[in-house]
């Protein structure tokens, strides 16, 4: 059976609340959706809780999926919103208001410029490690904007903040990432 036909068969089974197909869907997308959860929390147990809650919502809302879009994208959106709900409930973040920071990204001190040489390759693990060092608020906005490709307006609506606050938090996240990368890169080159 072709991959799309297999997924369609699993979705039809899930629409009938068939536990075997729900388990198949869970196993099929566990890894991809766990990565989404891990972007919002450094705690694997919390990420697993978010994912489990997300799948419950997916199974509850599967009848609302409109077949004209990507099923995986629809699930990612539910899991992302579940992660945001978790962060709100746990009060893990507070946002820097737009007027509290300079959004021109002038946060890097002189001499800390990262050299963009073609030979420099930052592995995905290194980038994820740097992102995980951000505060929960910065990491959330960064993930929503850069990884999930939401607009600042969509982020503002999702998080209950202004567009300017979203932009400020993204600018601060980028600046902090640059500092983290420069610091890590300088340690590697000095060894």
Instruction: Let me know the angle formed at the C-alpha of 7 by 5 and 9, rounded to the nearest 5 degrees.
Output: 70
Residue where a domain stops, chosen among 41, 65, 90:
90
Q: In terms of domains, do 34 and 56 share one?
A: yes
Q: In terms of domains, do 102 and 184 share one?
A: yes
Instruction: Let me know the angle formed at the C-alpha of 167 by 104 and 85, rounded to the nearest 5 degrees.
Output: 150
Within its chain, how far is the Cα of 146 from the centroid?
8
Q: In terms of domains, do 64 and 16 share one?
A: yes
For residue 109, report the phi and psi dihedrals to the nearest 5 degrees.
-70, 155
Q: In terms of domains, do 182 and 136 share one?
A: yes
CATH number at residue 120: 1.10.10.10
pLDDT score recorded for residue 145 = 92
CATH number at residue 49: 1.10.1740.10
Handedness of CA 62, 136, 169, 115 (dihedral sign): negative
Q: Which residues form the domain of 71?
A: 3-90
Handedness of CA 132, 103, 92, 81 (dihedral sign): negative
Q: What is the pLDDT along the chain (191 residues), one digit of tens a residue?
A: 578 888 999 999 999 999 999 999 999 999 999 999 988 888 889 999 999 999 999 999 999 998 778 899 999 999 999 999 998 888 766 666 655 444 443 333 334 334 433 333 445 567 778 888 888 889 999 989 988 889 999 999 988 899 999 999 999 999 998 888 788 766 655 65
* Coil/strand/helix, residue 126: helix
> How far is residue 181's CA from residue 24's CA, in Å, rounded to a whole number?
39
pLDDT score recorded for residue 19 = 95
Number of structural domains in the chain: 2
């Amino acid at each position: 059976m072709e991959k799309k036909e297999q997924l369609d068969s699993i979705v039809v089974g899930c629409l009938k609340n068939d536990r075997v197909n729900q388990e198949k869907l869970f196993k099929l997308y566990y890894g991809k959706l766990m990565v989404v959860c891990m972007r919002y929390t450094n705690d694997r147990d919390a990420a697993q809780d978010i994912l489990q809650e997300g799948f419950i919502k997916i199974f509850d809302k599967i009848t609302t999926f409109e077949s004209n879009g990507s099923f995986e994208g629809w699930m990612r959106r539910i899991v992302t919103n579940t992660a945001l709900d978790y962060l709100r409930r746990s009060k893990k973040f507070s946002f820097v208001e737009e007027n509290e920071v300079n959004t021109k990204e002038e946060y890097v001190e002189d001499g800390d410029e990262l050299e963009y040489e073609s030979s420099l390759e930052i592995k995905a693990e290194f980038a994820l490690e740097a992102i995980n060092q951000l505060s929960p608020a910065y990491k959330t906005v960064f993930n929503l904007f850069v990884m999930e490709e939401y607009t600042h307006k969509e982020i503002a609506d999702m998080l209950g903040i202004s567009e300017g606050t979203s932009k400020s938090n993204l600018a601060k996240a980028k600046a902090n990432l640059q500092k983290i990368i420069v610091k890590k890169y300088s340690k590697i080159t000095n060894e």
